[in-house]
Amino acid sequence: MAAVVDAFEQEVQRLARSLSRHAAEHKPSLFEARDLLGRMIEWSLEDESLRVALFRFVDVLPSLGSSAEIGRHLEEYFSRVDHALGGLVFLAQALRAGTLVAPIVRRNVVKLARRFIAEESGNHLETVLAQLRKEPAAFTLDVVGEATVSDSEALAMQKRYLDLLRRLASVSQSWPIIRQIDQSPYGPLPRVNLSVKLSSLCARFDPLDPATESVVRERLRELFREAARLGAAVTVDMEQNAFRDLTLAIFRGVLEEPEFGQAPVAAIALQAYLKDAEKDVRELIRWARRRKRRVGVRLVKGAYWDSEIAWAKQKNWPIPAFLDKAETDANYERLSRLLLEGHDIIDAAFGSHNLRSLAYAIVAAKQLGVPVNGYEIQMLYGMAEPVRRAIIQNGQRARVYLPVGELLPGISYLIRRLMENTSNTSFLRQTYADKKDIDSLIKPPAAVVRRSVAAHEPQPAGGRRAFQNEPPIDFSRRENRERFRATLDKVRGQLKSRRRAGEWLESVNPANAREIIGRVRLTSVSDADEAIDGAARFFPEWRDTAAEKRAEILFSAAGIMREKRWELAAWELFEAGKGWREADADVAEAIDYLEYYGREMLRLAKPRNTQWLPSETNLYLYEPRGVAVIIAPWNFPLAILAGMTAAALVTGNCALMKPAEQSPVMAEHLLAILREAGLPDDACQLLQGGGELGAHLVRSPKIHLIAFTGSREVGLEILKQAYSHRPGQTHVKKVVCEMGGKNAVIVDNDADLDEAVVHIIDSAFGYQGQKCSAASRLILLGDVHDRLLSRLIDATKSLKIGPPEDPRYAIGPVIDAEAKSRIAEYIQIGKKEGKCVLEMDAPAEGFFVGPVIFSDVDPQSRIAQEEVFGPVLSVIRARDFDHALAIANDSSYALTGGFFSRSPAHIEQGRKEFRVGNLYINRGITGAVVERQPFGGLKLSGIGSKAGGPDYLLQFLEPRTISENTLRHGFMPPEEQDGNRARGS
Amino acid sequence: MAAVVDAFEQEVQRLARSLSRHAAEHKPSLFEARDLLGRMIEWSLEDESLRVALFRFVDVLPSLGSSAEIGRHLEEYFSRVDHALGGLVFLAQALRAGTLVAPIVRRNVVKLARRFIAEESGNHLETVLAQLRKEPAAFTLDVVGEATVSDSEALAMQKRYLDLLRRLASVSQSWPIIRQIDQSPYGPLPRVNLSVKLSSLCARFDPLDPATESVVRERLRELFREAARLGAAVTVDMEQNAFRDLTLAIFRGVLEEPEFGQAPVAAIALQAYLKDAEKDVRELIRWARRRKRRVGVRLVKGAYWDSEIAWAKQKNWPIPAFLDKAETDANYERLSRLLLEGHDIIDAAFGSHNLRSLAYAIVAAKQLGVPVNGYEIQMLYGMAEPVRRAIIQNGQRARVYLPVGELLPGISYLIRRLMENTSNTSFLRQTYADKKDIDSLIKPPAAVVRRSVAAHEPQPAGGRRAFQNEPPIDFSRRENRERFRATLDKVRGQLKSRRRAGEWLESVNPANAREIIGRVRLTSVSDADEAIDGAARFFPEWRDTAAEKRAEILFSAAGIMREKRWELAAWELFEAGKGWREADADVAEAIDYLEYYGREMLRLAKPRNTQWLPSETNLYLYEPRGVAVIIAPWNFPLAILAGMTAAALVTGNCALMKPAEQSPVMAEHLLAILREAGLPDDACQLLQGGGELGAHLVRSPKIHLIAFTGSREVGLEILKQAYSHRPGQTHVKKVVCEMGGKNAVIVDNDADLDEAVVHIIDSAFGYQGQKCSAASRLILLGDVHDRLLSRLIDATKSLKIGPPEDPRYAIGPVIDAEAKSRIAEYIQIGKKEGKCVLEMDAPAEGFFVGPVIFSDVDPQSRIAQEEVFGPVLSVIRARDFDHALAIANDSSYALTGGFFSRSPAHIEQGRKEFRVGNLYINRGITGAVVERQPFGGLKLSGIGSKAGGPDYLLQFLEPRTISENTLRHGFMPPEEQDGNRARGS
């Protein structure tokens, strides 16, 4: 067996070496320093910071409207580059070029891009295709476009696909059949071949939304139908891992439809860097055999590696890709063989520039008896011409992946390709730029132990694992969607419907007020006083309970919550009107608070030695304050209540929870979990009621601490009441206070609008804008104003409104009738103050309010200054970035805020001058994560206490200093003593 | 030369070896395990924790009144000992002994003590002396007694010295002359020899108080006169280094008096472990030669090594002693030779048990031609009998240092001796317990590099030295006393005397209201508003100034303050009526605040990465709040004002200083220093005025932060006003608030009263009780009540009252007429509520109030509950320690507190249950030091913000979180990237 393997391996290396010799005659244009940017790419290979600056500059360039803007960005990006040579040479050239530099640069980038992306208009595309077929090389077209954020954009993309199919079908009539590229063992191959990204076919490709599958299937069906009619081929591209299951499902689903039994020629891309790729390959082969339908598989290594890692880390999910390049390469070879073994039903296409990988596939095909035209090699346009030439000379069918489209939307493609082919593990880079020895490049891939990512993992501390955020449920997985659906049904079965009068508080489903979530007994004033006394009596015992034990109770509660997370999210969905992801996120955040504050207390519980003195120990330590009242809002009914309560409890205070009237049931759940985790009854009591009850608690002279999250009006009144000393009060109360926000998002002229639109919608309309962090002011700079606003309106229009248990509805109800009418009032005010550019219909039943957008809003108007707490966005026009910052800061709130910009100088300026508690750059402004983004506002948004941050627990504690003289008649204790002493004898 | 040295060294070692052989025949009784405690000492040599427990137990034992108490302490000390063998065996014995254990233990300790201390009553002393003379060994008597804390105690000690002289003079008549011990080359030697500690001759041996020298000289003179009359000899013992200069001065001063030209035979002890010892020896020899008077010098190594290090570290002074035992030994030999070289005028006595040291002296004497009876060897009674025997056999004159007195006061002596002779560098221990090879013990002392103490020194961080407390001026040094005296004269010359009317505030000397310290212009409301506006305007610039630069200004100001510290202390003395040390300490504390907060800000200025994510940077950072009002009190007119202002400024807030009306001049000094250090004018402005001005500032909606230290009444009003939201206010104000105290000191039954009395006086009457930290309640347990109270009253009576510029007055004036009359009112109240056991006359001119002590005070009475802020102490009787803690905690204040106890269990209990901001155990309760004792109170004493602590600056800052998505089209920045990537190509 070893001998067989060895012979095979020898053959692979021989072929790779032979291909390499042929390829070596030319250099890929990518690595030719033909012009300014060519030279910069060359330099960037030597310097990572220059490479980043270059790619970021290329990324922003198409969005820059003027030469002045280009010049400014050039300077911002490259004056800070470390690489002395690259930076200096480039800047020198730029300076020499004077005012001409900007147009030169733009011309250069356009030239650069055109080496990789064909022009859609005119006849450039036809010229390029004719040249390719002369080599001869087949092609597949990739249509580059803006990220699709609305239905109109999705329909426009579909139209472009259809138009291209028709246009090329017509053109291709005149192309002669070329045996090497147009013929397979099973017959002639379509000369027209289109690659399609499914995410471009709908407003938001969301696996959770059942509409995604039906809408995309519908649109893909039309493409397939047209391709079948025209005799063209369609390949479905693979995007990020989160889209994979749904992409495969749609691909197979459409092909299972009777009309697509044999036509069109269809293929799908699979990514070898994914750990699950082998499973997908095997399933696809099984499916095709069962279905008796040939399908193509384009095997690639994968182009989203950075992003997959980034996204997984953000959510604390397992990383779906191999971390080791060699593992990916080895998997690629394994999958190549698998695909070739399935050549009875699979048309394999090997997409790679790596000669070793390609040689492996070719030799394996030979070994398995697959004819040379029974598979093909695919490569990117403009990246690896010499390799392509060698492959063609070797007799294989080569197909070029050719992007077509405009420069601006093509940048995303361009960056991805430049990045991967200039990364220091790229075969091309190693061959042509780093000039590595061919022998080292064609060795069989061997897994290398990967330390670097693991080294960044939090290390366990003191036996207990370091804090890690609770991962949200991955609703891109079907089993999770099904489980939550079942949980919703189960919980709904427990809802009540009859009403009961008297001292009961009833909680209703805001999407359907006839549905009663639960009823709880209202706490009377005398009950409240009794609760305070009970807490005060129990306090010394709780205070003196070891911090470790208190923390353990939090950890247990977190464990219980983890087990019950499905049910809890379901209850929250019904009680608070939250969507699936939002409800789940609130539960995960509650778990985070328990785990984080528990660990924080373990850290703070250790007394600190303030100074080393031989004769005196000086300890600095923290102790709890006493009885804490927790007044929590309904919008994060579990997380905020749990967070404030956990902070109070773990620090040793007794807590009296006063949840919002609108979410009493979630509070009951929390209390039950804390009890189950072993919390003594008197340590935490639940008092149900409204503002009157809260006010009574706040005024009590026996209360030591008030932790409040809610409206400004209530917060300021609490502060006033709490700091007015009352008879019988023997301490100063402490107030931890988070109030509202009127949060602004700025969009700079050079912003990435694809990203901005998506994040603005999330931030403004997520949970119907009922978050203190929600975006309610959108400040747009002149150049982007109209374009962004129109995309935003279109994208928002694609959102559907309805009860949140059905995940097709992105917009649910607001919390209650009062909220609905308050928001309606503000909409009326807004209509007077600004221009209503979007108002959507909403169901009349339930407390629904559709998203509303006002444009041309005066920064000083009420709609731009007052917190609406609903899905209402005020758009303000700004002259420039300074003006935008001034508008953003001109508010008495300062909770969250954000901006989208790709100008290093503006990012730096915004960082300093956009004065809010939580500032977000180039991302959404909601969804602060415990520990990662300590959360809390300035000005009248709060007192700067940051929940989920390292200083939060200090507010619940009082420091004490204990100094002990340890010298007794000149005799020091041993720990401070030292062996070598000078005393006489 | 080398040959000479070698021959000498050989001779030394030969002699040491020979002496050692003779000594080895017996074991010193110290190391004989004859009884329970003997065995424990033996065990303790093997286990440092047992040694500590043992010595601490021996320390407390004499004060224990009952068997039950002894049993309890036994258990508390030894159940926690690490040493399994020692602890277990001992406890087993104790348990077997049952209720008998306590008396057994006491009997054992008495027996142990009697091996080292002769009984004063009866004829035990005479028996011991007769035995010694039989050996033959001479003696010198050391009279052990309680620490002297009052004049009556000092006079009693003098009487004991005189009585002993007379008693022994009479007894000694019958003693035959013994040549070896009673004869010197210069004639017969006195057979009666008394050692005297000068500190025992006055109420408080304070080099700063000019009365110390005159009083002690007077009392020593009488001793010398009587000794001369009786033909006895007197040796002045040397105590701690701080007493050294004055001790030498008094010794020489008295001997310079004509009547003591030749008699009595007088000697002084000098300590070889002091770095300055050689200077002292040389000066003394020169002085004796000039004076043509023989004096004796007892050369010892020194018995306060631990304490000297401890005290020096506490004050951050250079350590006066060698840290290396070998250095001390080498110095001992050097000084031995020096003394012997001065044998024409010096009678050298070598006090040591180290055979190497003694052999060196003997051989050197021989080499220098000093007759064998021209010097002597001194040893401690009961410690080193075999060594003594060998020395006597060798023909030298041996003199035994024999303590005489009661067990309880002798403990201090006993501990010191046990400690030094059982320390692991003790010659005796090494010889008899550790059984070290004699050759290793008699090698010449070689300096060993000492790392251990240095290793504890704060290490420099980031170029700047780690924070160190500013050392106070050492007023035990004459040059410092003279310098401050001159500075006082200079400053007094600048005082004004005419009064001026109108908008001027005049600051007067509280010791003499006719003296005007200065006058400042009162700030009008409109000026104040202008100042606020100026601060608000300047704020953005100051906020954006680099934290490093702001910190540098503080460091510069600290430097300037250090240069001006003498003048500043002098001004403060006159303006605030503070004594020398108190005034100096306030300046040092101000410097500390500047240095500490500067460094704290450097620490806090670094943004923290909250979590590592590959695609997002999340920074947590702090920013200033805005305009801060600093409302400071007059009692620490520089330190508190400077501390709060420095905190506000270094964090980037603009500060408006509103000092107390009583200390406007110190504020002017501070402002000038800050300006000189480079602080921009608008960053800090000084507003002079009273409560009206403060109230106006507090109410201003433009103020962001109020830092207040002062009375409860004002503090609570500030809190109320500040947290009442006002029109135009766009933020929540922050209040940093330190209020008063009603601080208690508990004295447990087993407390060390010598220490307790001194610390209580300091804490209660230091600066006339005008500190928020001052002791104003003294809670005494039954067994110590009467004894402590009577010593306390006597000690307090020894304090003199008068203007603070004269350091003989420990008690100065209170701040103003209002304070004087308020205190007088409270004294009247106290006289109704309790029993006035001390009321001292005070000068009628100036605002003087003498110390007042009330006993039998009800814990609930006004005098026990309300802050008097003057030299008034209420003594409350407690049943037991629990009761004492309950009384101490039964206050709405909780600032400082302390207790004296030697019960490990009570110390543990007090630590937990004595709930004050700053708790002090077995020490005074005032004088918190920056960083070492972060300072601030709980309950109605404050909001727990600890000045000079690690959380203080956080109050002046607001946290912000900045999250930046760094992923652009899947491209991660390089810092998070990793070379080994999996993406394909």
What does the pLDDT look like over B882-934, one tens digit per residue? 999 999 999 999 999 999 999 999 999 999 999 999 999 999 999 999 999 99
pLDDT band at B49 (very low <50, low <70, confident <90, very high): confident
Q: Known catalytic residue: A738?
A: yes
Residue among A426, A951, A983 minimizing CB distance to B423: A983
Mean pLDDT of A908-927: 97
What is the reported pLDDT for B410? 75
Where does the pLDDT of residue A291 fall: very low under 50, low under 70, confident under 90, or very high at 90 and above? very high
Report, as an integer, the average pLDDT of B446-472.
63
Coil, helix or strand for A129?
helix
Of A428, A716, A980, the CB nearest to B448: A980
Measured in whole angstroms, how far is the alpha carbon of residue B470 from the centre of its chain?
Answer: 15
Using pLDDT thresholds of 50, 70 and 90, give the confidence band for residue A261: very high
* pLDDT given for residue A973 in this prediction: 64
Q: Which two tokens stand for residue A122?
A: 């005119």
Mean pLDDT on A592-601 = 98
Give chain B's mean pLDDT: 90
- Is pLDDT of B1 > 50? no
In which residue are the tokens 């007192």 written?
A: A943
Interface with chain B: mutation pick from A449, A702, A732, highest number of B CBs within 10 Å: A732
Q: Which residue of A has its CA nearest to B912?
A: A544
When scoring B866, B969, B977 by the number of chain A Cβ atoms within 10 A, the one with the most, hence best to mutate, is: B969
Q: Which amino acid is at A96?
A: R
Q: Which of residues 728-767 of A touch B (CB under 8 A)?
A: 730-732, 734-735, 737, 752
Residue A183 has pLDDT above 90, yes or no: yes
Supply the DSSP symbol for A564: T
Residue B907, C-beta contacts closer than 8 angstroms, at least 6 positions apart: A964, B901, B921
Does residue A843 or residue B31 have the better pLDDT?
A: A843
**Is B599 near chain A, with CB under 8 Å?**
no
Q: Do B731 and A939 touch (CB under 8 A)?
A: yes
Segment B227-256 shows an average pLDDT of 97
| Subunit contact A921:B427, Cβ cutoff 8 A | no
pLDDT of residue A427: 79
Interchain contact, B984 vs A452, CB within 8 Å:
no
Decide if B629 contacts B684 (C-beta within 8 A).
Answer: no
- pLDDT at site B525: 95
Query: Quick check: A386 pLDDT over 70?
Result: yes
Question: A-chain residues within 8 Å CB-CB of B724?
Answer: 720, 723-724
* Mean pLDDT lowest among A205-209, A257-261, A373-377, B88-92: B88-92
A to B CB pairs, distance under 8 Å: 430
User: Does the beta-carbon distance from B946 to A959 stay under 8 Å?
Assistant: yes
Of A618, A723, A734, nearest to B933 by CB-CB distance is: A618
Q: Which amino acid is at A214?
A: S
CB contact under 8 A, B723 and A723: yes
DSSP state of A431: I
Report residue A26's pLDDT band, with 50, 70 and 90 as the boundaries.
confident
Residue A955 contacts residue B744 (beta carbons within 8 Å): no
> Is the pLDDT reported for residue A421 higher than 80?
no
Which ipTM value was assigned to this complex?
Answer: 0.92
**Inter-chain CB proximity B310 and A932 less than 8 Å:** no
Give the B window 683-722 contacts with A, CB below 8 Å: 716, 719-720, 722
Contact between A310 and B456 using a beta-carbon 8 Å cutoff: no
**Listed range (A73-87, A408-422, A889-903, B507-521) with the worst mean pLDDT:** A73-87
- 10 Å Cβ neighbour count for A660? 25
pLDDT band at residue A578 using 50, 70 and 90 as cut-offs: very high
Q: How far is CA A517 from the centre of its chain?
A: 32
Given a cut of 80, whether residue B496 has pLDDT beyond it is: no
Query: A912 and chain B: CB distance < 8 Å anywhere?
Result: yes
**pLDDT value at residue A413:** 75
Nearest-by-Cβ selection for B421 from A49, A427, A985: A985
Contacts of A383 (CB under 8 A, 6+ apart): A28, A30, A116, A353, A417, A421, A428
B892–A323: do the CB atoms touch at under 8 Å? no
Are B744 and B891 in contact by the 8 Å Cβ rule? The answer is yes
Give the pLDDT confidence score for residue B447 in this predicted structure: 44
- Contacts with A, B 512-531, CB within 8 Å: none
The yes-or-no verdict on residue A30 having pLDDT over 70 is no
Q: Find residues 266-325 of chain B whose CB sits inside 8 Å of chain A.
A: 271-273, 300-307, 309-311, 313-314, 321-325
Residues 616-635 of B with CB under 8 A from A: 616, 618, 620, 623, 625
Cβ distance B273 to A918 less than 8 Å, yes or no, reads no
Measured between alpha carbons, how far is B523 from B687 in angstroms, rounded to an integer? Answer: 6
pLDDT recorded at residue A55: 80
The pLDDT tens digits for B106-133 are 777 777 778 889 998 889 999 999 999 9
A626 to A86, A273, A805, B82: CA distances (angstroms): 62, 55, 41, 37
Q: Using an 8 Å CB-CB cutoff, list chain A residues near B962.
A: 911, 919, 921
* pLDDT interval class at A492 (50, 70, 90): very high
Q: How many residues does chain B have?
A: 985
Report cis status (omega within 30 of 0) of the bond before A934.
no
A609–chain B Cβ distance below 8 A for any pair? no
Prior bond of A614 cis (ω within 30°): no
The candidate with the shortest Cα–Cα distance to A718, out of A741, A699, A690, is A699
Which of A738, A805, A867, A931 is the catalytic position? A738
Q: What percent of chain A has pLDDT over 90?
A: 77
Partner residue facing B982 (CB), from A325, A722, A968: A325
pLDDT, residue B84, reads: 46
Task: Give the closest of A273, A306, A723 to B972, CB-based.
Answer: A306
Residue B210 has pLDDT above 80, yes or no: yes
Q: Is the pLDDT of residue A412 over 80?
A: no
Shortest Cα–Cα distance, A162 to chain B (Å): 27
The predicted-structure confidence for A956-983, as pLDDT tens digits, reads as follows 999 999 999 988 876 766 544 333 333 3
Residues in chain B with CB shorter than 8 Å from the CB of A51 are 974
Cα–Cα dist A55/B350, whole Å = 84
Reply yes or no on whether the pLDDT at B96 is more than 60.
Answer: no
A982/B325 Cβ within 8 A: yes
Tens of pLDDT, residues A866-879: 999 999 999 999 99
Higher-confidence residue: A417 or B614? B614
Please state whether the peptide bond connecting residue B210 to the residue before it is cis, i.e. omega within 30 degrees of 0: no
B958 touches chain A (CB under 8 A): yes
Q: How far is CA A217 from the centre of its chain?
A: 25
Instruction: Identify which of A417-431, B78-92, B462-476 has the greatest average pLDDT.
Output: B462-476
The pLDDT assigned to B48 comes to 75
- What does pTM read for this prediction? 0.92
| Gap from B413 CA to chain A (nearest CA, Å) | 8
Rounded to the nearest angstrom, the minimum Cα separation between B610 and chain A is 5
User: What pLDDT does residue A674 have?
Assistant: 98
Catalytic positions of B are 738, 772
Nearby residues of A4 by Cβ (< 8 Å), 6 or more positions away: none
Q: In the prediction, which pLDDT does A338 show?
A: 98
- Of all residues in chain B, what percent carry a pLDDT higher than 90? 77
| Nearest alpha-carbon partner for A839 in A900, A932, A766, A765 | A765
Residue in A676, A470, A740 with CA at minimum distance from that of residue A593: A470
Interface of A with B in 429-458 (CB under 8 A): 429, 448, 450, 452-453, 456
CB within 8 Å: B310 and A613: yes
Provide the pLDDT confidence category of residue B50 given band limits of 50, 70 and 90: confident
Q: Once rounded to an integer, what is the mean pLDDT over residues A263-272? A: 97
pLDDT confidence band for B614 (50 / 70 / 90): confident
Nearest to B922 among A719, A965, A983 (CB): A965
Mean predicted confidence (pLDDT) in A152-156: 96
Mean pLDDT (chain A) is 90
